Amino acid sequence: MGKTVTEKIIEPHLVEGKLERGSEIAIRIDQTLTQDATGTMAYLEFEAIGIPRVKTDLSVCYVDHNLIQSDFRNADDHRFLRSVARRFGLHFSPPGNGISHQIHLERFGRPGATLLGSDSHTPTGGGLSMLAIGAGGLDVAMAMAGKPFYLTMPKIYGVRLTGRLSPWVSARDVLLEILRRISVKGGVGYVMEYFGPGVGTLSVTDRAAITNFGAELGATTSVFPADSRTREFLESQGRGDVFTEITADPDAEYDEVIEIDMSTLEPLIACPSSPDNVVKVSEVAGRPVGQVLVGSCSASSLRDLLVVAKTLESREVSREVSFEINPGSRQVVENLVALGGYATLVHAGARIHQPGCLGCIGMGQAPATGSISLRTFPRNFPGRSGTKDDQVYLCSPEVAVAAAVFGKITDPRDLGDYPEFSLPEKYLPGDQRIEPPLAPEEAERIEIVRGPNIAPFPDFEPLPDDFAGEVLLKVGDNITTDHIMPAGAKVLPLRSNIPAISEFVYSAVDEDFPARARNSAGGMVVGGENYGQGSSREHAALAPRYLGVRIKLVKSFARIHKANLINFGILPLTFADPADYDRIAQGGRVEIKNLRGQVESGRGEIELVIGGETVMARLEVSPRHREILLAGGLLNWAR
């Protein structure tokens, strides 16, 4: 049987296990990336491991999330990250340089490499035929220390693309269509692999837009083949020497297959407040819009901004709309300026911000109360924008610019002929502000600079023999990491101070949770399906653990959050009988006799007594995971 692209990348990186679906494997990691919202903690964890220098082929520390320096905290952390990069042998991309995923695609990614990033949208690299996986910061720290990354060997979901995108339909619409068909849970346990005759019609940045947005399917990652379009992109970046052709064998087999004829797609839009709440733009056309944002890691390439600029050459933005642009990188800005697009955007009335994530994680750009905000971002979870009861829609740059012109949701085909433009054969690299690693002898002399907001990493106890506590919180389906540990300008600056940030755990759901958790002897959280979807932020596990949460009992987990729970010693249990969810009330007393013994023995089911009734729960983890849970977390186990 032939091999898929996924198998061809995993096989030479395999250090433990076999390519058997559902079994635990370990792979060698070639490259890592961090961003500043997760990176400060990742580097504190790396320090705790005690390795003097990163052992990967390449690691990059990006500052792209917490760009608003409203007080000393973000600025201090940016200085800390620069000193860490210099001390431990990383590349450093400073604030204002751009979004990690866009820059990595441009300057560092290479076909066939493995990339582990402390950001859930790391799969962007799959557009360049990398096996690029999002993970918690502690997993990335271990990879920087030369340790393999453990994961369940995923199934492979083949997406066969045929046809060609019509004018005013873009790569974003491909993934919106997949979300419409299989939902935010449809990719759990899979790698989404794209193949078929339609693949050759998509540029690398088109492909990256799809693999980036594919994180919202819950997939382990997404990947495209490396072909002539890949070579074309790398040569335009002056990096043609790293090209390697990687394509699936003709007789490769996929566990599932979905087919999309791209020529039949229409402009699509995700309505509030989930990425899979997808309809045709024509079905919601006419709704007034107050804000339009173009940018973020999934739609901020030169292609995306050029189509907007060319559309606006003879038009002006509606006076009723705040139309804002977040470029993906300094390279994008430099080339947009060289091609005249930047001046066009300014003249048309756009507000152009520094390259970075910004409003995507609630770092500014909050919409007005009661207004509709159209965004080319990957997520529209409730309140993520920074405005309570927000109305955020997700769309393509084409749909976004149409709304900006008309002041209402509009099918972009109403704009007339699609603008003509071409991308450079050779890009201005825009990488002059990226600092390369220092030589080892220079790095040894670097002192790591810590501001007063950086607190020591907390120590955690091993798993107790018995557990007694209460159900501190009961929540429903599709709880995101934004629900558990909010982002935004108020909370994110505390990311390197666990005692301080823990005061905001579940604040979007229950403001009294932190006090209730602190006052309990130990606690459990109960949830529904797809618990922990969204961002990779490990603070959504670390901060609850700091407050005394030792168990989470849910119907099903999102992949990254479950891994983070294990890393910090929180038992990730699922209901043996989902109907038991209805029998549990918040505040109920929880007891587990011989908890440590049950975990140590390898039992697949754990017996809990909740509110006087017996509930059976599954513990679906590997033997290595059991050792980590018994030790109280990955750092304890590693030591």
Q: Using one digit for the tens of pLDDT, what is the confidence trace for 291-322?
A: 999 999 989 999 999 999 999 999 999 999 99
Q: What six digits make up the tokens of 50?
A: 């005690």
Where residue 231 sits, what CATH number does that domain have?
3.30.499.10
Alpha-carbon gap, residue 357 to 300, rounded angstroms: 10
Query: Which run of H or E residues covers position 597?
Result: helix 595-600
pTM of the model: 0.92
Domain hosting residue 85, numbered range:
5-264
Is there a single domain that holds both residue 33 and residue 165?
A: yes
Which tens digit of pLDDT belongs to each residue from 504-515?
999 888 999 999
Domain annotation covers residue 68: yes
Is there a single domain that holds both residue 600 and residue 617?
A: yes
Which tens digit of pLDDT belongs to each residue from 91-124?
999 999 999 999 999 999 999 999 999 999 999 9
The residue out of 414, 434, 457 marking a domain boundary is: 414
Is there a single domain that holds both residue 247 and residue 328?
A: no
Alpha-carbon gap, residue 147 to 575, rounded angstroms: 32
Which tens digit of pLDDT belongs to each residue from 69-88?
888 989 999 999 999 999 99
The residue out of 264, 292, 313 marking a domain boundary is: 264
Where residue 580 sits, what CATH number does that domain have?
3.20.19.10
Q: What six digits make up the tokens of 299?
A: 């739609």
Highest mean pLDDT among 46-50, 263-267, 382-386, 634-638: 263-267
Domain annotation covers residue 485: yes
The residue out of 381, 414, 447 marking a domain boundary is: 414
23: left (phi over 0), alpha (psi -120 to 50) or beta: beta
User: Is 535 marked active-site?
Assistant: yes
Q: Which of 30, 36, 64, 431 is catalytic?
A: 64
In percent, how much of the chain has pLDDT > 90? 87
Give the confidence band of 48 by pLDDT, cuts at 50, 70, 90: confident
> In the predicted model, is pLDDT for residue 152 greater than 80?
yes
Domain annotation covers residue 126: yes
Q: Which residues of 590-623 are buried (b: 16+ CB within 10 A; e: fewer)?
A: bebeebbebbeeeeeebbbebeeeebebbbebee
Query: Which run of H or E residues covers position 281?
Result: helix 281-284
> In the predicted model, is pLDDT for residue 639 greater than 80?
no
User: Is 228 marked active-site?
Assistant: no
Domain annotation covers residue 48: yes
Is there a single domain that holds both residue 199 and residue 128?
A: yes
Sorted by sequence, the CB contacts under 8 Å of residue 355 that are 6+ apart come out as 64, 96, 97, 98, 99, 102, 300, 326, 327, 328, 329, 330, 332, 333
Q: Which of 78, 86, 110, 379 is catalytic?
A: 379
Domain annotation covers residue 216: yes
At 40, which amino acid appears? T
pLDDT score of 457: 81
Q: What six digits make up the tokens of 371?
A: 């207004």
Q: Which of 13, 30, 36, 65 is catalytic?
A: 65
User: Is 139 marked active-site?
Assistant: no
Alpha-carbon gap, residue 603 to 230, rounded angstroms: 47
Q: Which of 104, 110, 537, 550 is catalytic?
A: 537
Sorted by sequence, the CB contacts under 8 Å of residue 515 that are 6+ apart come out as none
Q: What six digits make up the tokens of 71?
A: 């007080």
> In the predicted model, is pLDDT for residue 521 greater than 80?
no
Give the confidence band of 492 by pLDDT, cuts at 50, 70, 90: confident
Count: domains in the chain: 3
Segment 341-351 mean pLDDT = 97
Is there a single domain that holds both residue 551 and residue 514?
A: yes
User: Is 119 marked active-site?
Assistant: yes
Residue 59's nearest CA partner among 118, 1, 123 is 118
User: Is 222 marked active-site?
Assistant: no
Alpha-carbon gap, residue 305 to 377, rounded angstroms: 14
pLDDT score of 568: 94
Is there a single domain that holds both residue 259 and residue 272?
A: no
Is there a single domain that holds both residue 410 and residue 273?
A: yes
Q: Which of 119, 139, 173, 411 is catalytic?
A: 119
Segment 127-143 mean pLDDT = 96
* Strand, coil or helix: 432: coil
Instruction: Give the residue with greater pLDDT, 494 vs 329.
Output: 329
Is there a single domain that holds both residue 171 and residue 51?
A: yes
> In the predicted model, is pLDDT for residue 519 greater than 90?
no
Domain annotation covers residue 222: yes
Domain annotation covers residue 339: yes
Alpha-carbon gap, residue 529 to 356, rounded angstroms: 32
Is there a single domain that holds both residue 234 and residue 276?
A: no
pLDDT score of 371: 97
* Strand, coil or helix: 521: coil
User: Is 65 marked active-site?
Assistant: yes
pLDDT score of 495: 85
Segment 356-369 mean pLDDT = 90
Instruction: Give the residue with greater pLDDT, 490 vs 628.
Output: 628
Is there a single domain that holds both residue 247 and residue 346?
A: no
Alpha-carbon gap, residue 578 to 555, rounded angstroms: 6
Residue 85's nearest CA partner among 59, 104, 65 is 59
Q: Which of 496, 535, 536, 556 is catalytic?
A: 535
Is there a single domain that holds both residue 313 and residue 185?
A: no
Alpha-carbon gap, residue 568 to 341, rounded angstroms: 47
pLDDT score of 490: 82
Is there a single domain that holds both residue 163 and residue 110?
A: yes
Domain annotation covers residue 353: yes
Q: Are 215 and 378 in contact (CB under 8 A)?
A: yes
pLDDT score of 438: 98
Which tens digit of pLDDT belongs to each residue from 365-390?
999 999 999 999 999 988 888 898 99
* Nearest-10 crossing angle of helices 204-213, 171-182: 30
